[in-house]
């Protein structure tokens, strides 16, 4: 019986202790319960104090138990609700934390993915740039090779064309006059088929302009020389046609106009055509160009219809004897016959007392191929262009 009592006491005490977490009011019930146990022990020992209910320990224990239990029942719902709410809040908070962690993780993954994509894109761009640069370099090298091949082919074609037309490359070192210059090897060249006004030994109108123009166009430049028939004149100067560039055809008028310097001088009014057989390959072109320049009063043609120097467009003169034989005893018929014979044969002896008049050097050379010296019946100062006392020399 005593054991059962102690079991009940312990059980009641445990229940009361269990109510304390629910509400602090249960402590009062615990105090009453413990005091009841104490009074019960004191009562058996005869040492109990107080009176009335204090002397009823069982009632105290039951009251304490009931009080604690009742308080627990009163406060249990709010506590449970609070605990439930707290648990719910904890759950929400936990879920929120979990969600935040998940979001943070997703954000981190997104950022890492973005970084990877950017890195991948940068790598692709770098490779694409390298590939583009490589392709550009290859294209540049290919273009350079093609350009070199093209230039080589053009140079070869130019050399072949030059060789086929008898053109020889040369470099002009010094311009002497409008129609005369010196090459880098020291050779002097006289332009064929044209004559510019003098600007050295004697000065003719527009001579200085012609000389300056030739300097501008030729001095220090690479040119192409072409021989007509004659190699040199009596001064040892090379007689040549000058091409500024290799023509596609040396008989094409457009090529002659645009690339031949002899023609350029005539076209721009710096020279007159001056033909000396047998170098007559381009004489017709030069005369045509001169007539065009004269009609436009270009250059030296602005000074008059015959220009400022001698050339093929000067007026023609008929070859006639200037005097008759001094033999006064000859009859008029004999005199007429003698005059006709003199005109036909154009005697070369000055002792005859006659002079020969030719329209130009072309006419004179038909009879005197190498020209005539001063004192000769056919000598005329106008045909001695360089004033060396020798007319119409080659």
* Structural domains present in the chain: 167-302 (2.40.50.90), 361-391 (no CATH)
The pTM score is 0.51
How does 215-254 read in b/e, with b if 16+ C-beta sit within 10 Å? bebbeeeebbbbbbebebeeeebbbbbbbbebbeebeeee
383 pLDDT band, cuts 50/70/90, is confident
198 is catalytic: yes
Distances (CA, A) of 85 to 81, 90, 96, 231, 350: 6, 8, 16, 126, 154
What pLDDT does 301 receive? Answer: 96
DSSP code of residue 232:
B
Greater confidence (383 vs 349) lies with: 383
User: 32-56 pLDDT, tens per residue?
Assistant: 788 777 777 777 777 766 666 666 7
Distances (CA, A) of 43 to 1, 96, 114: 18, 61, 85
194 DSSP β-pair partners = 273
What pLDDT does 129 receive? Answer: 93
Which one of the listed residues 190, 294, 365, 385 is annotated catalytic? 190
What pLDDT does 311 receive? Answer: 92
Rounded Cα distance between 152 and 365, Å, is: 47
237 is catalytic: yes
Greater confidence (351 vs 138) lies with: 138
**CB 274 within 8 Å of CB 296:** no
Which one of the listed residues 198, 204, 272, 354 is annotated catalytic? 198
User: 305-362 pLDDT, tens per residue?
Assistant: 999 999 999 987 544 443 333 333 333 333 333 333 333 333 333 333 468 888 888 8
> Quick one: average pLDDT of 242-255?
95
Element (H, E) at 190: strand 188-191
Which one of the listed residues 174, 182, 209, 237 is annotated catalytic? 237
95 is catalytic: no
Rounded Cα distance between 44 and 2, Å, is: 13
> Quick one: average pLDDT of 294-310?
94
Greater confidence (342 vs 150) lies with: 150
């Amino acid at each position: 019986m005593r054991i059962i009592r102690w079991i009940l006491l312990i059980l009641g005490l445990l229940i009361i202790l269990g109510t304390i977490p629910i509400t602090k009011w249960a402590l009062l019930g615990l105090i009453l319960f413990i005091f009841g146990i104490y009074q019960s022990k004191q009562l058996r020992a005869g040492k109990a104090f107080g009176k009335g209910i204090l002397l009823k320990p069982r009632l105290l224990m039951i009251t304490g138990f009931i009080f604690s239990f009742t308080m627990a029942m009163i406060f249990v719902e709010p506590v449970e609700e609070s605990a439930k709410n707290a648990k719910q809040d904890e759950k929400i908070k936990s879920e929120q934390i979990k969600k935040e962690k998940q979001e943070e993780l997703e954000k981190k993954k997104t950022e890492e993915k973005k970084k990877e994509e950017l890195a991948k894109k940068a790598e692709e761009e770098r490779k694409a740039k390298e590939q583009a640069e490589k392709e550009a370099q290859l294209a540049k090298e290919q273009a350079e090779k093609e350009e070199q091949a093209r230039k080589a082919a053009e140079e070869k074609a130019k050399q072949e064309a030059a060789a086929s037309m008898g053109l020889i490359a040369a470099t002009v070192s010094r311009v002497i006059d409008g129609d005369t210059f010196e090459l880098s090897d020291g050779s002097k060249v006289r332009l064929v088929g044209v004559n510019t006004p003098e600007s050295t030994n004697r000065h003719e109108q527009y001579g200085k302009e012609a000389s300056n123009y030739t300097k501008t166009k030729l001095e220090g430049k690479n040119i192409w020389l072409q021989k007509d028939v004659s190699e040199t004149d009596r001064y040892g100067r090379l007689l040549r046609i000058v091409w500024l560039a290799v023509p596609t055809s040396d008989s094409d008028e457009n090529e002659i106009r645009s690339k031949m310097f002899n023609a350029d001088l005539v076209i721009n009014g710096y020279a007159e055509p001056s033909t000396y057989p047998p170098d007559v390959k381009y004489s017709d072109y030069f005369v045509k160009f001169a007539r065009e320049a004269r009609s436009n009063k270009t250059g030296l043609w602005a000074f008059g219809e015959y220009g400022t120097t001698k050339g093929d467009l000067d007026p023609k003169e008929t070859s006639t004897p200037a005097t008759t034989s001094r033999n006064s005893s000859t009859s008029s018929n004999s005199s007429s016959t003698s005059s006709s014979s003199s005109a036909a044969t154009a005697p070369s002896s000055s002792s005859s007392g006659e002079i020969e008049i030719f329209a130009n050097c072309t006419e004179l050379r038909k009879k005197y191929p190498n020209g005539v010296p001063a004192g000769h019946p056919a000598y005329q100062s106008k045909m001695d262009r360089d004033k060396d006392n020798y007319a119409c020399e080659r």
